[in-house]
Structure 1
Amino acid sequence: MGKMLAERGDFLEAESLLEPLANDYLEDKNYQQFIEVESVLLRIYGELERFDKINAAKERLQDLVIRSEFQLNSRMYYVLGVCAALKEQTDVAHEYFQQALKLGLDTNIKKDICHAIYGMAWVYRMREQYDNALKEIYNLQVFFELIDIPDLKVSSLILNGNILRSMGKYDQALDVYWQAYDLVKESKHLYMYIRLLFSMGYTYLLQGETSMGKVYLNLAKRSIDPKNNIFMGNAIDRVMDKYADISESEFDLVLDEEAHQLLEKKKGKVDFKSQFILLDLLKLFMSQPGQVFSKEALVEKVWKQEYDPRVHDNKVYVTIKRLRKLIEPDYDRPKYIFRSKQGYYLNKSAKVMVHH
């Protein structure tokens, strides 16, 4: 019942039910059930920002270990890792999750292995070691082919999306969030739904799609109970406050997809009507500023053709040149479209916004 309340976002009521239950399990020395309940309570404490209770939980777990009343297993190390991660002690958390993974592999308990891998990915993201985080997510996906853990699968997809968002890969992040959304629809897990709304809204804002981002964030805001969802409520407020006063004048490039028009800070309006290839090329660049697109990738994504250097090399060169002439305030000194050895890209520092 307590876990169901937590899934629904009723953290205060869940806390009141689960804390006595955890104490009962501890008194009865039913340590396995105690750890399962404690794991749920830690998520609740994190959402309610009860850092004193997170500390108390960690001390209680460590006391169990010191008194040797409980044989250390993968699940225990995972819960200790969660305690450390919630306190942003990433080095300590990493050690605990590594130990959890080792014991999980030794005992071949796939559920424990999956939780440990998730913990590793979580810590790597906190450390901004995104490539390592994605490797752990991939490992987790392999295990999900062998075992079904619905809540962890959704959480891992949200984490995957968050990692991609941190890497500036907004389109990929949104694709992953939509995968998570399909699973949440089946599970009817309200809190996961709110997490998704927030993650998607934040990603749209970072992508420059301010209107869309605010829609999702407002939906997330309306879906929460401020008393029950303190952490998420604060996160939403911080993002909404940061982007509350954003106006188009703050952006270098503002694209109106429906009107086929671009607003460049110095040049003003640039019309892309009947110039569909140029528009698609610009949309691609604006979707991921700083992302280098090879000629092969451009041909595949913009022209929807298989790359042939005899056909496409000059076509790409000429099209890039035309795009520069349209959007660059000074064609001889480009500030937006650049070329590298690997391909072409939009200046990462360019502030862009896209209206769908």
Structure 2
Amino acid sequence: MQIVGGQESGTSNQKESASLDVLGFVGSGEGLIPTQDNLTKLEVGKAYYQLGKLHYDKADLNKAEVNFLKAIDCAECPQDNYRVLKILSFLIRIAAEKLEDEKAEKYISHSEAIVNDLQENLGSLSAEYFYYSGLIKSYRTDFDGAYQDLDLSYNKSKEENDPDLHSKCLLALANNAFNRGQFELSLEYMGQLDNLLKIINKEYLGGSMHMTYGKIHMATGNIEASLKHFNLANITLQNKKCWNLYGYILLGIGQVQKVKGDYDRATLYYNLAKQAVDSTTFKRLTNVLDAEIHEVNDSSVDIYLDRNNRKVKEKNIGVIDFKHRFVLLEILFLLAKNRGSFFDKEDLAREIWKDEYNPLIHDKLIYTSISRLRKLIEPKDNSNTKRKYIIRGKDGYTFNPDVKIRYQMETKLTAGKAVANVDISSPV
């Protein structure tokens, strides 16, 4: 697995300098000023946009925002409406990452006003119109309405023979299906996008595609495929010298490791991600990473139960694999989900073995199973008379209600919930 840090190379800086010369800029850093002697207002605006995109790719969100706003100031609407919509999409993503609700709301409202103006004044609506209309509805969490517009854009972009817009529609539709829990449909769109990107060269979109693949496969439990695509996202975006998604790639790999039950490696990737990003601007990502690290290392949690991957992590023992211990896992989850409730032999025979209790069959089976389960999960310093987890009373067995349990460790993006329901990797 190849993970390379987001350090700028001399080659990247040389390319930046060359591009600025072509765009007619003098100075360096924040002091870059367009030389307007021979440039129109439109050309100056395009130059500011290119600078904004350059800083955006390099993960300098503050400089990107400054230049994007200057690009909008140079726009002349209505003829530049679509260009402004594209720039606003970048600004919304920056505000979402910086958790700046008021700015995001302002940019979304501006986008809505432009879309409404286009609808009122255009004789016919293009694929590009429906694409941005769909994105804006996504910002408002109207996923059904967004799907209708994005699907129209998808079909119109084919009619208009616009492969670039068609590719962005496919990624937007895949994200839309993912947000609606339709993972198979999401994978269908991703398959079409994968085939299209073999024909057209759009590396940044390719990186976003692999990240989306990673999220879908993680949600459906295909862990190895998820890890493969996060690594492909890393390689693809490094080829473009693009670092703004590097922290999110490390986050994704860490989440895959967590689902696999390798909590030490998950923590390693989370900490690498924290070191790789500027926490003062990547606030959403930083919040998510802090929540993930806290979840994995929460010392107050006695035992983690991961049913999907058939793993248990006990605070003192570590990770315990239950892949070939199905009956023991079922007993553990039955008791843990009903802490404080006692299950006698009749209950266990019915719930675990789906049989009516027969002492000749079940007495030894239950005793042996409980004994094996205790040996697996009970800390070694506990005596047989003082069990930490599985307690026996006169009414049967129960799970200690005083211990702290956490169930299957899932990704918790709500800790850094994106403003406007977007993150920096979503399509523009």
TM-score, normalised relative to structure 2:
0.58
In structure 2, which of residues 88, 95, 119 is the aligned counterpart of residue 45 of structure 1?
95
| 1:28 positional shift | 6.8
* Preserved contact between residue 204 and residue 210 of structure 1 (Cα < 8 Å): yes
Which residue of the partner structure matches residue 154 of structure 1?
Answer: 207
RMSD after superposition: 3.6
Contact 1:101 1:113 in 2 (8 A): yes
Would the alpha carbon gap of residues 170 and 57 (structure 1) be closer, same or farther in structure 2, given more than 3 Å must change? farther
Tell me what 2:66 maps to. Answer: 16
Shift of 1:31: 3.2
Structure 1 partner of 2:112: 59
Residue of structure 2 in register with 1:79 after alignment: 132
1:179 to 223, 232, 247: 232
Q: Please point out which of 258, 267, 282 is paired with 1:214.
A: 267
Q: Does 1:7 align with 2:57?
A: yes
**Counterparts of 2:312 and 2:112 in 1: how far apart (Å)?**
57
CA distance in 2, matches of 1:239, 1:54: 30
User: Does residue 188 of structure 1 match 2:241?
Assistant: yes
In 2, the alpha carbon distance for the partners of 1:190 and 1:269 equals 35
For 2:73 and 2:110, the matched residues in 1 are separated by: 11
Structure with greater Cα Rg: 2
Change in 2 beyond 3 A, CA 1:270/1:19:
closer
How many residue pairs match? The answer is 281
TM-score (norm 1): 0.68
Report the secondary structure of 1:128's partner residue: coil
In structure 2, C-alpha distance between the alignment counterparts of 1:30 and 1:264, rounded to whole Å: 56
Which deviations, in whole Å up to 9, do the C-alpha atoms of 1:84-129 show, x marking residues without a partner?
Answer: 2233221122122112112101101001111111111001111111
**Structure 2 equivalent of residue 302 of structure 1:** none
More helix by share: 1
The one of 12, 17, 33 aligned to 2:83: 33
Q: Distance in 1 between matches of 2:82 and 2:71?
A: 13
Structure 2: 5+ residue runs without aligned partners?
1-50, 330-366, 374-405, 410-428
Check the 8 A contact 1:64/1:70 in 2, yes or no. Answer: no
Q: Which residue type is aligned with residue 69 of structure 2?
A: E
Amino acid at match of 1:7: D
Change in CA separation of 1:120 and 1:14 when aligned onto 2, cut-off 3 Å: same
Q: Which residue of 2 aligns with 1:112?
A: 165
- Structure 1 gaps of 5+ residues are 254-261, 272-278, 290-327, 335-348
CA contact (8 A) 1:54 1:83 kept: no
SS of match in other structure, 1:146: coil
User: How far is 1:242 from its partner?
Assistant: 2.6
Whether the 8 Å contact between 2:88 and 2:107 is mirrored in structure 1 is no
CA pair 236-75 structure 1, distance change in 2 beyond 3 A: farther
Match of 1:36, as an amino acid?
K
Q: 1:209 to 1:243 in 2, by over 3 A?
A: same
- 1:134 aligns with one of 187, 191, 211: 187
